[in-house]
Structure 1
Amino acid sequence: MGRVLVELFYDVVSPYSWLGFEVLCRYQHIWNIDLRFRPAFLGGIMQSTGNKPPAMLPKRAEYLLKDIKRMAKYYQVPVTLSEDVFQRILGNSSLGAMRFITAADMTQPKYLEPLSREFWLRFWSQHEDISQVESILAVAEKAGLSSELTQKLLEMISSPAVKNRLKETTEEAVKYGLGCLPLWHMLTGNLISFLALIV
């Protein structure tokens, strides 16, 4: 069998997305896979599928907190949980961040990995905002983007092209019948050979 293309649909507000992201980045050469990042919007997926955030389901929330801690330790990804973690998730829309990442994907895809990682680090390790323009600027600088490129991507956030691209990717993730992220979509040639969801 030839090399397998793995598409990772993810949102930086999702800790499970970060875990899946780091595992795939870490082992892509060992597993001999071609990795493609597919930025999507978790809020849009939740709305389309009628899925509810864990904060709305106490027993699920209780389990997820324990599970995330275990997985973070096992995979050595610096996900840490603040006491107000669910309030922070509900109070910080990732839409602007995911549009910014989508703009980067459309123009400078080489920055997708460091940019996405810095958003996760800011939100899940440093427990800081990712929704405001100032936050996006700080993340972009840490990811190594020039001020000129950052400004260009910020201007693109409100463009129909970026909005449509993120919407289309999100809808594509929904078509697979799942209501959360991340989604690993593995293909050999044009055939879907594996489909999995971490959650």
Structure 2
Amino acid sequence: MGPLPRTLELFYDVLSPYSWLCFEVLCRYQKIWNIKLQLQPTLIAGIMKDSGSVSAMQFLTAVKMENPEMLEKVSRELWMRLWSREQDISEPQSILAAAEKAGLSAEQARGLLEMISTAEVKKKLREVTEVACKYGAFGLPVTVAHVDGQTHMLFGSDRMELLAYLLGEKWMGPVPPTLNARL
């Protein structure tokens, strides 16, 4: 049995293409580096005070609360809609389409969409955003590595080599060979 996984928190907003880059790389490396990746949907507007993705991030917060196993897929689909297909992610029907494409049933997606206006979801998103700010976030993505009793905050999607060094792991590029063979 290998060492226990180290914890990485990724604070992200689907409005940020740089968050997407960091998200994809960390998702690829989580088994290779034996890390426990905690996805933290964060409202970039709470950090930068100007964003159009509030409903999408509230939706992701609801997904994390009710269907955390779907958070990675739904996050990826929202990024695909916005940054790859130039489709909307702010209107309810757009969010529902992304959720269903990611694998949630129409019923699950509608239930989660109903949650986005609740005080509980808004509070949770605000709390996660405040945590990112307490770590020193001034934009997104922010990766927080909890290693050997120490906390390290890394800003940006171009810090993977430094993250690998902190973890005592090898950086093998954005598509590691073990994953490249499966693609």
How many residue pairs get aligned? The number is: 155
- Residue of structure 1 aligned with 2:32, choices 12, 30, 33: 30
Does 2:113 correspond to 1:154? yes
CA RMSD between the two structures: 1.5
Identity %: 51
For residue 104 of structure 1, report the CA deviation from its aligned partner.
0.6
Gap runs ≥5 in structure 2: 158-183
Structure with the higher helix share, 1 or 2: 1
Equivalent position amino acid for 1:147 in 2: A
Equivalent position amino acid for 2:35 in 1: I
Q: Whose RCO is larger (CA < 8 A, sep 6+)?
A: 1
Consecutive aligned runs of 4 or more in structure 1 exceeding 3 Å deviation: none
Q: How does 1:1-199 map to 2 (within 5 A)?
A: 2-47=4-49, 93-188=52-147, 191-198=149-156
Q: Distance in 2 between matches of 1:168 and 1:40?
A: 9
The one-character-per-residue Cα deviations of 1:81-119 (angstroms, maximum 9, x if unpaired) are: xxxxxxxxx6xx110000001001001101100000000
Q: Does the CA-based 8 Å contact 1:11-1:98 persist in structure 2? A: yes
Q: Does the CA-based 8 Å contact 2:140-2:155 persist in structure 1? A: yes
The one-character-per-residue Cα deviations of 1:132-189 (angstroms, maximum 9, x if unpaired) are: 0111011011011111111110111011100000000011111122210011011147
Equivalent position amino acid for 1:128 in 2: Q
Q: Distance in 1 between matches of 2:64 and 2:26?
A: 18
Query: SS where residue 151 of structure 1 aligns?
Result: helix
Q: Does the CA-based 8 Å contact 1:2-1:188 persist in structure 2? A: no
